[in-house]
Amino acid sequence: PQRALPLLFAALDDDPSLDRAMESLEEMAVKLDEPRELVRVYQRKIKALGPEAADTPKTRAERLRLWTAISVLCIQRLGDVETGATAYEVTLALDGQNIDRRRQMAAIYTEMGGDRIDKAIAEHHYILARNKAELGSYRALKDLYIRSLQREKAAAVAYALHLLGKD
């Protein structure tokens, strides 16, 4: 399988419409358990899907699966949180109403720290705008406000948690 990957990539360079070659490429990369190769395969598959504007629901679901997989591989297997976060941002563009994705994006931003804290705060505000009872977001906001030295806002969130009886 290791030697077959470059051959399949070459075949797809010659004719990108070879669907079976594309599927075989993914299967081999999964079997080899090579995260970098898997990312290359997923990028190739995304490119083969064409522009997003023409997506059918099935194509959109596949695009979402691929971008999610790239994000997971980059963050968990390659330790490339920056690229993984960028890939996950694409999944939000494709499935922005998904609150679980928003929670995960907020967690990624929180882990990254620095200038991403403001983005984590924005994600938690988005979540709370849709579900006022989301206690995890209140707790996260309190911690994020403390980390970003916004004491007044941290105190306000802490007070809200107290009123909810969940502090």
Q: What is the pLDDT of residues 103-152, one digit of tens each?
A: 999 999 999 999 999 999 999 999 999 999 899 999 999 999 999 999 99
Quick one: pLDDT at residue 52?
83
CA distance 21 to 7: 10
Q: Taking Cα atoms as reference points, which of 107, 119, 37, 99 lies closest to residue 73? A: 37
Q: For the purposes of burial, counting CB atoms within 10 Å of the CB of 91, is it exposed (0-12), middle (13-18) or buried (19 or more)?
A: buried
Q: What is the pLDDT of residue 18?
A: 63
Higher pLDDT, 17 or 149: 149
pLDDT for residue 95 is more than 80: yes
What does the pLDDT read at residue 31? 86
User: What is the helix, strand, coil percentage profile of the chain, to 5?
Assistant: 80, 0, 20
Single-letter residue type at 84: G
Tokens of 58: 């099935």
**pLDDT value at residue 2:** 65
- For the stretch 53-94, pLDDT in tens is 788 999 999 999 999 999 999 999 999 999 999 999 999 999
pLDDT of residue 104: 97
How distant is the alpha carbon of residue 166 from its chain centre? 29
Per-residue pLDDT, 60: 93
Mean pLDDT calculated for residue range 150-160? 96
Question: Which long-range contacts link 12-19 to residues 24+ away (Cβ below 8 Å)?
Answer: 12/44, 12/48, 16/47, 16/48
Position 90 scores a pLDDT of 96
